[in-house]
């Protein structure tokens, strides 16, 4: 399969590099990373080890592929959608944080699939990504049910030895992912701790409150996400990624803008639509936004 990965950050580089074991892959990213990949390939170390040779470019305009995987930061989704709209794809799948699929679907004529990925990844230098934990990729129709391109994409991942599930209940899984991210990302970023520190201790209850609030907003939005399921998913990810530094913590460490607006901020925005109070998510969002303002990165 011909696959374009739009957003060659940590996760995009890891998945693109793994897919390149079997498929024709092009990474869209920034230099010097893209230049290093073109010259020497992708070096994957850690929980998975591989050295593959996808193509790489800094120009995402006018591209063609069977499928495009979107792995840019949530705040770059509109720009990614505009670039993808200038190309030709049979399907596009978001593996981003947040509920970004609708933004993509507004700009694109092809089917837009939803996806989640719990593989841990960290870029350590141009062309080098560390897999910090083997998770699973889940893809499916964003509106629920089966979709032929979800089946094809799932097979493409599995052919490259990436643990993958094709799911028919993506509306619930999208909100479940949001609940997990709402519980982990901001808390770890503010406390400067690895995910495993949320298994117990002072931050654990804050993370669980954020996940519970998110589940309540999901139900108000017409998505059946029981509170116990959201909490169970949170605990599973904390355990499976205990050694990981969340993407938001990595952003704070690097002094970059975070995805707080698309995670806890999105929970707050959706809660306001239903006149619900989500004080934990609101506080976490306010604190990260205050940090961004102080760093002048918003």
* Count: domains in the chain: 2
Based on the fold, state whether residues 209 and 221 are members of the same structural domain.
Answer: yes
208 Cβ contact list (under 8 Å, min separation 6): 183, 231, 234
Note down pLDDT in tens along the chain; length 298 residues.
999 999 999 999 999 999 999 999 999 999 999 999 999 999 999 999 999 999 999 999 999 999 999 999 999 999 999 999 999 999 999 999 999 999 999 999 999 999 999 898 889 999 999 998 898 999 999 999 999 999 999 999 999 999 999 999 999 999 999 999 999 999 999 999 999 999 998 899 999 999 999 999 999 999 999 999 999 999 999 998 888 889 999 999 999 999 999 999 999 999 999 999 999 999 999 999 999 999 999 8
180-199 in b/e burial notation, b at 16+ Cβ within 10 A?
bbbbbbbbbbbeebbbebbe
pLDDT for res 212: 98
pLDDT for res 243: 85
Based on the fold, state whether residues 80 and 92 are members of the same structural domain.
Answer: yes
Based on the fold, state whether residues 139 and 246 are members of the same structural domain.
Answer: no
The answer to whether residues 2 and 13 touch, using CB atoms and an 8 Å cutoff, is no
Among the options 63, 128, 174, 177, which is catalytic?
177
Please report, for the domain that includes residue 39, its CATH number: 3.40.50.720
Domain span at residue 30 reads 2-166
Q: What six digits make up the tokens of 71?
A: 């792995």
Based on the fold, state whether residues 260 and 156 are members of the same structural domain.
Answer: no
Based on the fold, state whether residues 51 and 155 are members of the same structural domain.
Answer: yes
Based on the fold, state whether residues 133 and 27 are members of the same structural domain.
Answer: yes
**Is 177 in the active site?**
yes
- Residue 111 sits at the vertex; the CA angle it makes with 21 and 103, to the nearest 5 degrees, is 100
Residue with token string 């961004």: 292
Based on the fold, state whether residues 36 and 84 are members of the same structural domain.
Answer: yes
266 membership: H or E segment, kind and range: helix 264-273
The rounded distance, in Å, linking the Cα atoms of 285 and 224 is 24
Last residue in a domain, options 107, 136, 166: 166
Based on the fold, state whether residues 89 and 143 are members of the same structural domain.
Answer: yes
Based on the fold, state whether residues 15 and 140 are members of the same structural domain.
Answer: yes
- pLDDT tens digits for 254-290? 999 999 999 999 999 999 999 999 999 999 999 999 9
Based on the fold, state whether residues 179 and 155 are members of the same structural domain.
Answer: no
Please report, for the domain that includes residue 226, its CATH number: 1.10.1040.10
Based on the fold, state whether residues 152 and 177 are members of the same structural domain.
Answer: no
pLDDT for res 241: 86
Last residue in a domain, options 166, 184, 210: 166
Based on the fold, state whether residues 138 and 212 are members of the same structural domain.
Answer: no
Last residue in a domain, options 104, 133, 166: 166
């Amino acid at each position: 399969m011909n696959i374009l990965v739009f957003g060659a950050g940590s996760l995009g580089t890891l998945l693109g590099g793994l897919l390149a074991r079997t498929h024709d892959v092009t990474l869209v990213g920034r230099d010097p990373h893209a230049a290093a990949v073109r010259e020497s390939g992708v070096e994957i170390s850690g929980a998975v080890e591989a050295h593959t040779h996808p193509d790489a470019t800094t120009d995402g305009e006018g591209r063609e592929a069977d499928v495009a995987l979107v792995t840019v930061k949530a705040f770059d989704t509109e720009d990614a959608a505009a670039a993808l709209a200038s190309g030709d794809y049979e399907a596009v799948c978001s593996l981003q944080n947040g509920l970004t699929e609708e933004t993509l679907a507004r700009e694109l004529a092809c089917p837009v699939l939803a996806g989640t990925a719990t593989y841990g990844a960290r870029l350590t230098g141009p062309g080098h990504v560390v897999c910090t934990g083997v998770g699973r990729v889940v893809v499916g129709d964003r509106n629920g049910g089966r979709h032929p391109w979800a089946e094809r994409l799932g097979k493409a991942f599995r052919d490259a030895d990436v643990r993958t599930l094709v799911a028919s209940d993506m509306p619930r899984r999208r909100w479940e992912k949001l609940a997990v991210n709402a519980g982990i990302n901001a808390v770890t970023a503010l406390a400067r701790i690895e995910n495993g520190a949320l298994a117990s201790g002072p931050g654990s209850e804050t993370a669980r409150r954020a996940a519970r609030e998110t589940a309540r907003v999901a139900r108000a939005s017409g998505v059946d996400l029981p509170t116990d399921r959201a909490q169970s998913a949170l605990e599973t990810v904390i355990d499976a990624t205990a050694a990981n530094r969340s993407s938001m913590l990595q952003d704070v460490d690097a002094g970059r803008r975070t995805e707080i607006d698309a995670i806890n901020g999105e929970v707050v925005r959706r809660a306001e639509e239903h006149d619900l109070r989500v004080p934990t998510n609101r506080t976490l969002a306010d604190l990260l936004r205050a940090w961004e303002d102080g760093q002048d990165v918003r």
